[in-house]
Chains A and B, each alone.
Chain A
Amino acid sequence: MVQVSELTVAGDEGMPVINLRGAEFERDPRAVLAGALAKSPVVKSRRGFEFLSYALISEALLSDKLDTAGPDHYTRLGAGGALLWFVDNGLLSTMSRARHDPIRRLMLRAFSFRNVDRQRAQARETAELLLEEWIEDGRVELIGQLTEYYPIRVMSRMIGIPQEDIPRFASAAHELHLLAAVPMAPGFPRLEAALGTLTSYVRDLVAQRRAHPRDDDFITTLLAAQADEGRISEDELVGNLVNLVFAGMGTTTKQLAAAVHDIVRNGRWERLYEHPEDLQATISECLRFSPVTQFVVRIAQEDAELGGLRYPQGTRIILNLLAASRDPEKFPDPDRFDITRVNDESRLPFGWGVHRCLGQPLARLLIEEGLTLLTSRMTDVAVVSRERGPHPAQMLSGPGALTLTFSRR
């Protein structure tokens, strides 16, 4: 959090300020952002300078003068030992490029499109098993009865975590959403406890797998790379598994539920069932319409000129993906849900550049298989209630609960 009055760069006279704590932002953040974007592509808030326009964010994502916050950011906030260990060893986005690059390439062995595509059958089977538990009921709370369990089960199977272990770490894994909280510091004690649980679980699992390798899981692949190529230390291996397995699952949980909500509310459910070829375009539009990741943070690594203003080294810049996904310059009539838009190359939902979401192929596959299954088994779907999730100033959004009624197809 910063004081808005302290945010100044040359030439910013009259730059709009958005009040993230105001009732208006809480009620309708998109309207506040749209109003601000109409005046200026960049505004100020307590989070920092906020880039709102698609064009400016595209420029920023590819600028080599901006990068994610480094580990010292967490030290300054007063993070404790387990969190600092995790930031140092597991949080890819905070690592120096020299350490980050070889580890990220290694992680791509799990998240390459071809490897992820091999998970399709088990994803379908996992979702089906969950659906069978409530399909006769005609009513479901989709998050608590499907999307909270489905991504973590699929991911665990892909990585090599036994399904029966999931309850041992599920609640600790859920706590990692606090890493995206604004402000973050109040969550530090809970993060310490959660990271302690996750790290010791993964450390034991890795030791077991080293003693008893398997053919086809990612932990074994990583261990082989460690032994043969020496490119990842034990701490980095454990830290990155914690990061990949646990930090990514909450986003897919929320994004799939948000997609179901938007498809139903915009009258596209039956059409999607009848036209499965529309699936990719529908998902792209859902990701634009209700992006779960609402912003990402960048720090100017040196003085950076962007959109005609010069930001000094150390300036904190928020890339507001929620605002840009409704930028009328890029998406005409942006509040209309329209699957015929050409937005499949959008840089927004998963980011762009060197820190682009590593799990994107898996997230997409989970949403594809989830929507295909749900539309093929449910008809007459209606939204009974959608519980608002976190405060809209948080980094991650998405419904807290989504209750539907339906008939069996």
Chain B
Amino acid sequence: MAWVTYQHSDGTSDKVDVPVGTSVMRAALANNVPGIVGECGGELMCATCHVYVLTPRGLGPGRSEDEDEMLDFAACPRRPESRLSCQIRMSDQFDGLIVETPEAQN
């Protein structure tokens, strides 16, 4: 298991213990974390699980071409640290991951 913190634009946050191998999007849905929709089910067909990765720094550039294209359609502006949370699979290395959820997903 590895901890993920979801920080929301209203100042609240949710901290979730996520099984290794589970995506940050699925973990949010399974734990009723607000601010992540994931409407295509993690198939890189939408951008409604958009997050900004605050920690660790540098996780932004790990995007595939398809993820990069989808991020252009996110409801909130993309930033260098933007990722689709369905594409971040938890591993021990990401324990302590902190993501910020955007103000809107759709």
Contact = CB atoms under 8 A, between A and B. Distances in A.
Interface stretch (A9-17, A100-108, A301-309): A100-108
Contacts of A112: 47, 72-73
B41 A105 contact: no
Contact of B75 (A105, A114, A356): A114
A354 B66 CA distance: 14
Contact of B41 (A108, A345, A353): A353
Interface string B62-106: 000010011011010000000000000000000000000000001
Contacts of A134: none
Interface string A347-361: 000001110100001
A370 B34 CA distance: 29
Interface residues of A, number: 17
B40 interface: yes
A345 B37 contact: yes
Interface string A33-77: 000000000000000000000000000011000000000000000
Contact of B66 (A105, A109, A353): A105
Please classify the interface of chain B as helix (H, G, I), strand (E, B), loop, or mixed, using the class held by over half of its residues.
loop
Interface in A325-364: 345, 352-354, 356, 361
A105 B43 contact: no
Contact of B45 (A101, A109, A114): A101
Contacts of B37: 345
B14 interface: no
Contact of A354 (B40, B47, B70, B106): B40
Interface in B3-52: 37, 39-41, 43-47
A109 B70 CA distance: 9
A354 B45 contact: yes
22 contacts: A61-B41, A62-B41, A101-B44, A104-B45, A105-B45, A105-B69, A108-B45, A108-B73, A109-B73, A112-B47, A112-B72, A113-B106, A114-B73, A114-B75, A352-B41, A353-B39, A353-B41, A353-B43, A354-B43, A356-B39, A356-B46, A361-B106
